[in-house]
Structure 1
Amino acid sequence: MPEIQSVVSPNWLLQHLQDPQVVIVDCRFSLAEPQLGQQQYKMSHIQGAYYLDLNLDLSSPVSEHGGRHPLPNPDDLAKKLANIGVEFQKTLVVAYDDSRFAFASRLWWLLRYLGHEQVAVLNGGFSQWQQAGYPITDIIPQFKTANFVPQIQPQLLVDITDVKTRKDLPSVVLVDSRESDRYRGEREPIDKIAGHIPGAVNYPWMEVTDAKGYLIPSTEHSQRWQNLATTAEILVYCGSGVTACVNLLSLELAGIHTGKLYAGSWSDWISY
């Protein structure tokens, strides 16, 4: 395998469609219509791709605390990954969606949290793949068997206690990844309370891509985060720990490895 890049181009994936060391995962999802991603996948998807659902596979059931998308049980997710042929620390997983990495980045982050670094997102997502005329199908691939024993990386994650005790330290920055009007509390389409965690700065996740769903150039990721480049810890949250992963991907592309996910995010914060 070449050196792991966090992003692959549609053309690169086209060349590796038959590669036994590559597993493609369709992460399309709609928060407004939770069944939509699965329906879209059944109609057409990248040849050979499996489907993982944000609610059913990449999250665990909602409870009083923990936010709207609590992290999945690591062993459950590991079984699902093994069933689609992902060998721990061997197979390259390529994740895609059609939402500017909102859901593909969640899988990218989860795999790294499980200790599997061979993971990338597909630049441009499904629509750009389709527009290029590359192979799509409605054939659902068969399950496989592989060995996936996770090695959890706890340093990538923080909870509400960590956020409360560390967010105001001089070496720590708390980043809110939501759109600026939600950060300012002018609009709140999902959660019961509007606003942001005191002390948070706003880096909207949609700035990571252009309107077509392609990542901004790598130099722009570095410029975007230049004020935080020397920060010891960057705690990143959004509404429920999903789109925050797009910012964590952007930090990684900027060469900054101090980003941590507050998985419960705003929806967990306001539950106390």
Structure 2
Amino acid sequence: METKLLSFGAVMISVIALFGGAEGGCRSCGGGDVAWGGEVWLEGVLGGPSMAATGVSAAEAGVENVAEEPIIPEEPTVVEADELSTEDLSSWSISAEELRISLDRGTKPVVAFVSNIPPHGSYIDGSIELPSKSLITGDGSLGSPEDMAAVLGRAGVTEEDGLVLYGDCFSCGDVTFVFWIMKYLGHRDVAVLRGYEKEWSSAGIPLSGATSAKADAVYTPDPRPDLMADYKSVAAGVYQVVDARTADQFRAGHIPGAVNIDYHQVMEGSWLKSDSDLAEIFADLDEDKPVAVYTKNGGTASIVWYALKLQGHDASLYTWNDWLGHRS
């Protein structure tokens, strides 16, 4: 049975503003480089560079192969059944053909472009702009559910809307990160559009040179903070931890016991690898134990989180900087 972590103390999640492009990824995406941080980092230690760049030593970071006192964590949060396990995971993505049919219906989904810079080509006609950085506050943190709900309301989105997210750089992580945020807010009907502009055009989806605007709405969130792992539970071994950074970054320092699954491994072209390939990649993970995924940035971590969820794992995101903040 899948499990979930109820961690109501993690309502404020620190991230660095989304301007740099994904870690080792697409230079022009301008939104994948999400540097996570926990509550400690909200007090002024925001950032997400490597240990070498921050001056944090391996011993301070508490990484593997460093002699130190054992971790004595606080009592971990109780684990219960995962509400997302009841969802139809096939609805988490949508093909261009499926979207075209949906757009032809009377009740159309809200289609949102979530990257932080204009696309290389055209927008999908009638889509709104919902850049990932719009959900980030001025001090670089992901604010309260109410703050994000206000952003969604100003974009004309309600919790009842069908929502389709797209961008032109899947590897940047903007699309899966905003998808994670929507699930964090409790949004039920949200999907990621597969493919790129050529496929959308071939399917008959009309394209445009600009996005559209919708009338203001009221968005009522139903937060799911269990989707964010916390330090005490990670340190206590509640989770199997997946480090989704590159092998070089993993070797430079990682959370003790973490398994390295580079986020590039789960992708093929503009989408994820096949179910059989993903099953092989995740074969060493225990299907009955929750997984916490981290990278230097939440965008690329969310790609692996998304893939894990589609494979039936109970997965949450964790912050590398939260670990460093507790260990330093």
Q: TM-score if structure 2 supplies the norm length? A: 0.64
How many residues were matched structurally? 237
For residue 280 of structure 2, what is the aligned residue in structure 1? 223
CA contact (8 A) 1:172 1:231 kept: no
Determine the C-alpha separation between the residues in 2 that align with 1:145 and 1:236: 35
Alpha-carbon distance change, 207 to 117 in structure 1, aligned in 2, over 3 angstroms: farther
Determine the C-alpha separation between the residues in 2 that align with 1:119 and 1:53: 16
Matches of residues 137-152 of structure 1 in structure 2 within 5 Å?
A: 137-152=208-223
Of 198-207 and 121-130, deviating more is 121-130
CA contact (8 A) 1:25 1:93 kept: yes
Higher RCO (CA 8 Å, separation ≥ 6 residues): 2
For residue 117 of structure 1, what is the aligned residue in structure 2? 188
1:239 equivalent to 2:296? Answer yes
For residue 164 of structure 2, what is the aligned residue in structure 1? 94
Matches of residues 37-48 of structure 1 in structure 2 within 5 Å?
A: 37=117, 39-40=118-119, 44-48=122-126
For residue 5 of structure 1, what is the aligned residue in structure 2? 91
SS at match of 1:228: coil
For residue 52 of structure 2, what is the aligned residue in structure 1? none
Alpha-carbon distance change, 127 to 210 in structure 1, aligned in 2, over 3 angstroms: farther
> Which residue of the other structure, out of 177, 193, 196, is the alignment partner of 2:254?
196
SS at match of 2:99: helix
SS at match of 2:296: coil
Determine the C-alpha separation between the residues in 1 that align with 2:321 and 2:206: 39
Match for 1:222: what amino acid?
A
> Which residue of the other structure, out of 76, 100, 117, is the alignment partner of 1:14?
100
Alpha-carbon distance change, 237 to 13 in structure 1, aligned in 2, over 3 angstroms: same
For residue 177 of structure 1, what is the aligned residue in structure 2? 244
SS at match of 2:214: coil
Match for 1:40: what amino acid?
P
Determine the C-alpha separation between the residues in 1 that align with 2:255 and 2:157: 37
For residue 263 of structure 2, what is the aligned residue in structure 1? 205
CA contact (8 A) 2:233 2:239 kept: no
Match for 2:244: what amino acid?
S
Match for 1:260: what amino acid?
S
Unpaired segments ≥5 residues, structure 1: 30-36, 64-69, 186-194
Runs of 4+ residues deviating >6 angstroms: none
Q: What is the CA deviation profile of residues 195-234 of structure 1, one whole-angstrom value per residue up to 9, with x for unaligned ones?
A: 32222111112222212x0222223333322322424221
Q: What is the CA deviation profile of residues 86-141 of structure 1, one whole-angstrom value per residue up to 9, with x for unaligned ones?
A: 331x3221111222251100111111111112111111244643576742112331
Q: Cα distance, 1:71 vs. partner?
A: 2.6
Determine the C-alpha separation between the residues in 2 that align with 1:133 and 1:21: 16
Matches of residues 19-30 of structure 1 in structure 2 within 5 Å?
A: 19=105, 20-29=107-116
For residue 74 of structure 2, what is the aligned residue in structure 1? none
CA contact (8 A) 1:173 1:231 kept: no
Determine the C-alpha separation between the residues in 2 that align with 1:72 and 1:205: 26
SS at match of 2:213: coil
Alpha-carbon distance change, 61 to 225 in structure 1, aligned in 2, over 3 angstroms: farther
For residue 130 of structure 2, what is the aligned residue in structure 1? 52
Determine the C-alpha separation between the residues in 2 that align with 1:183 and 1:126: 34
Q: TM-score if structure 1 supplies the norm length? A: 0.76
CA contact (8 A) 1:177 1:247 kept: yes
Q: CA RMSD in A?
A: 2.6
CA contact (8 A) 1:174 1:199 kept: yes
Determine the C-alpha separation between the residues in 2 that align with 1:224 and 1:22: 33
SS at match of 1:14: helix
Match for 1:11: what amino acid?
E
Determine the C-alpha separation between the residues in 2 that align with 1:219 and 1:175: 19
SS at match of 1:155: helix
Alpha-carbon distance change, 62 to 222 in structure 1, aligned in 2, over 3 angstroms: farther
